[in-house]
Each structure stands twice: as C-alpha cells, then as structure tokens.
C-alpha cells in the first residue's frame, strides 16, 4: 500500500493495469489496496470505463506525504536554504522540525552531516541594499486574484493609486513582480510586489487579454526602465552587438544609435550597484541620466585616482 500511495502521489493518473504492472500484483489487489487507502483517509478517486483510472483527489485535510530518501533530503535542504519571503522563517522551521522528527535515523544522520559540513554565505552578495521582504499573505492574495481573474487595487510606491489586471507572478533578481495590464491604458508592466500596498476590497473581475510578446522580455525591459530605485541611461562608445555580447540580458536594455554607438538603459537599487555594473562593461561611456550618478562617478574617479597614486 505504501508503494501504491507513492505512485499515486508521483503522477496525476494511473490505470489499474499500470499500477498492477508496477507493483507486480493483480488488478484485484490494486482495487483492494485502493479501498484500504480510502479507509485510512486518502481521497483516491476512481473513474470506470475504457478510460478508467485512479487519481489522488482533494480531501478535507492534508494527508501524510510519502517521500523516498532523496525526496526527503531535498525537501529538508530546501527548507533550510529558502529565503527572501518575510514570515517564511517560522513556518519553514516548523515544517522542517516535523520532517526531521519522522525521518529514519540514517537520513537524519545524513542531514546532520550535511549541515555540519556546510556553511551558508550571505544571501545578498552583489548588492549593498537589503533584499526586500514580501509577506506570504500578499503573494497568496495576488495569486488568488490571478486565479480568479480579479483586478488588484493598490497603492504603488506608497502614493500612486493603481488598478491592475494581474497575469503572472515572477520571481527575478531576488525580487517579486506581478505582471499585469492597466485596464484603462491597456499598458502591460511588471509591478514590484514590495512596492505594492493592496487595497481592500479589490477590483472587479475581468476577461484576461493575451500577453503581447514574451513574458521574460517584458519583465527585463520594463524593470530596467521602471522597476529599480535608480535608473540610468548611458551612451556607450560601442555598437549594440558589442554591448550585448558583454552583458547579462538581465542587466538592462540596449538600443542602437545612428552614429554607430548604443544606449544602455539599466538600473539598480543604489548608485553603487549601477556603478559596479557600468565598470564591468569595460567600455567607454557617457551618462545621460541621472545627475546623481554623474556626481557619484566623480567621487569614484577621485577615490580610484588616490588609490593609484595619481591624485
């Protein structure tokens, strides 16, 4: 029965002959074991006929999960390492404690040795800005709005009132974004979830429109333009192809210019981050905006000149 339960949890649907073959028993034994699982509280649904099959249904409570050794270790390691969502720490710790309590001694020793032999470095190693915290309840509410095709009403960046037809939640660059459509302007954009303050009640229902173009391309392009605390527009003394060959697409958007040079639209959550990304280009450039970045680069120029003994 444990093997049968494991199969039902591993795939959506199984026919009786498939289960009988995998378990090396008769179809009658499969039917009897399915009935026993039902008596134990597992909601196993059955469909009769030529397309008949069994599937694990939805019950009134969460049934025990059957994990093999590798799955149990993977879940435990994942619970120890997942970060970035405020409020997850307590629930994750409780789930991990329950899992470790029922693990066989050999797996508990494996986890202990893995824990003792490893160390976790700082989560945010490429930024001097702390990763934003997002409450799980906010993500849950947005996901429910996407499922129910219900508009979100919110304050964006504290004071801007927005109404969004939500399409998809995207986790990118250790930030959460909800990609949605403005019902008035029909403009699609990614909205940073940590900048959203949801208003209650939400908006009415809507009929979802088709997303124009590629989801990833939309997020990368619009976050570079509006999704950072600091946005920069740089003229690069190189062609767009040369710039694209040197950057990660997630850094920003490159535009061509008639004079053979290119424009890089990029950003970050601090001037320091933007300055680091620019320095990694290894190309000459001029800053079109913002003025604060120009002044910060002057400070860096003086600092580097002193460090090299030329100041």
Residue 84: closest CA among 223, 197, 220, 177: 177
> Are 217 and 234 in a shared domain?
no
Q: Are strands 175-181 and 44-47 parallel, antiparallel or unpaired?
A: unpaired
Assess if residue 195 is contained within a domain: yes
Q: Which residue ranges in the chain fall short of pLDDT 70?
A: 59-65, 81-88, 118-127, 224-225, 249-250, 311
Assess if residue 130 is contained within a domain: no
Q: Are strands 152-156 and 160-172 parallel, antiparallel or unpaired?
A: antiparallel
Assess if residue 11 is contained within a domain: yes
What pLDDT score was predicted for residue 68? Answer: 78
Query: Quick check: pTM over 0.75?
Result: no
pLDDT, one tens digit per residue, over 207-250 is 999 988 888 878 877 776 677 888 899 999 999 999 989 887 66
> Are 251 and 299 in a shared domain?
yes
> Are 31 and 91 in a shared domain?
no
What is the domain count for the chain?
4
Residue-number span of the structural domain to which 270 is assigned: 230-307
pLDDT, one tens digit per residue, over 163-195 is 999 999 988 777 889 999 999 999 999 999 999
Assess if residue 278 is contained within a domain: yes
What pLDDT score was predicted for residue 56? Answer: 85
> Are 27 and 98 in a shared domain?
no
> Are 258 and 283 in a shared domain?
yes
What pLDDT score was predicted for residue 1? Answer: 81
Interatomic CA distance for residues 238 and 233, integer angstroms: 15
The alpha carbon torsion through 122, 125, 128, 133 (nearest 10 deg) reads -60
Query: At which of 196, 222, 248 does a domain end?
Result: 222
**How would you write the chain as a 3-class SS string?**
CHHHHHHHHHCCCECHHHHHHHHCCCHHHHHHHHHHHHHCCCCEEEECCCCCEEEECCCCCCCCCCCCHHHHHHHHHHHHHCCCCCCHHHHHHHHHHHHHHHCCHHHHHHHHHHHHHCCCCCCCCCCCCCCCCCCHHHHHHHHHHHHHCECEEEEECCCEEEEEEEEEEEEECCEEEEEEECCCCCCEEEEEHHHEEECCCCCCECCCCCCCCCHHHHHHHHHHHHCCCEEEEEEECCCHHHHHHHCCHHHEEEEECCCCCEEEEEEECCHHHHHHHHHHHCCCEEEEECHHHHHHHHHHHHHHHHHCCCC
> Are 192 and 217 in a shared domain?
yes
CATH number of the domain within which 303 lies: 3.30.70
CATH number of the domain within which 12 lies: 1.10.10.10
Task: Give me the phi and psi of 205, to 5 degrees please.
Answer: -80, 165
Assess if residue 19 is contained within a domain: yes
> Are 148 and 218 in a shared domain?
yes
């Amino acid at each position: 029965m444990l093997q049968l339960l494991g199969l039902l949890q591993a795939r959506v649907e199984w026919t009786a002959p498939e289960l009988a073959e995998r378990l090396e028993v008769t179809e009658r034994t499969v039917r009897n074991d399915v009935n026993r699982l039902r008596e134990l509280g597992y909601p196993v649904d059955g469909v009769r006929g030529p397309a008949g099959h069994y599937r694990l249904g939805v019950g009134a409570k969460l049934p025990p999960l059957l994990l093999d050794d590798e799955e149990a270790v993977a879940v435990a390691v994942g619970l120890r390492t997942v970060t970035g969502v405020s409020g997850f720490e307590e629930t994750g710790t409780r789930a991990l404690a329950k899992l470790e309590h029922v693990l066989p001694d050999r797996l508990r020793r494996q986890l202990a040795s893995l824990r003792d032999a490893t160390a976790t470095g700082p989560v945010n190693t490429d930024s001097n800005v702390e990763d934003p915290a997002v409450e799980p309840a906010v993500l849950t509410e947005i996901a429910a709005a996407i499922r129910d095709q219900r508009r979100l009403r919110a304050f964006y960046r504290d004071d801007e009132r927005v109404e969004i037809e939500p399409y998809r939640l995207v986790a990118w660059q250790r930030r959460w974004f909800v990609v949605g459509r403005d019902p008035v302007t029909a403009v699609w954009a990614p909205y940073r979830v940590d900048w959203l303050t949801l208003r209650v009640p939400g908006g009415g229902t809507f009929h979802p429109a088709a997303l124009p173009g590629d989801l990833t391309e939309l997020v990368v392009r619009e976050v570079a333009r509006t999704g950072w605390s600091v946005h920069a527009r740089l003229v690069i003394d190189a062609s767009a192809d040369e710039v694209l060959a040197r950057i990660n697409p997630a850094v920003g958007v490159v535009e061509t210019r008639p004079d053979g040079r290119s424009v890089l639209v990029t950003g970050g959550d601090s001037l320091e981050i933007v300055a680091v990304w620019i320095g990694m280009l290894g190309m000459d450039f001029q800053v079109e905006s913002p003025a604060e970045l120009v002044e910060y680069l002057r400070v860096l120029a003086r600092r580097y000149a002193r460090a090299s003994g030329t100041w």
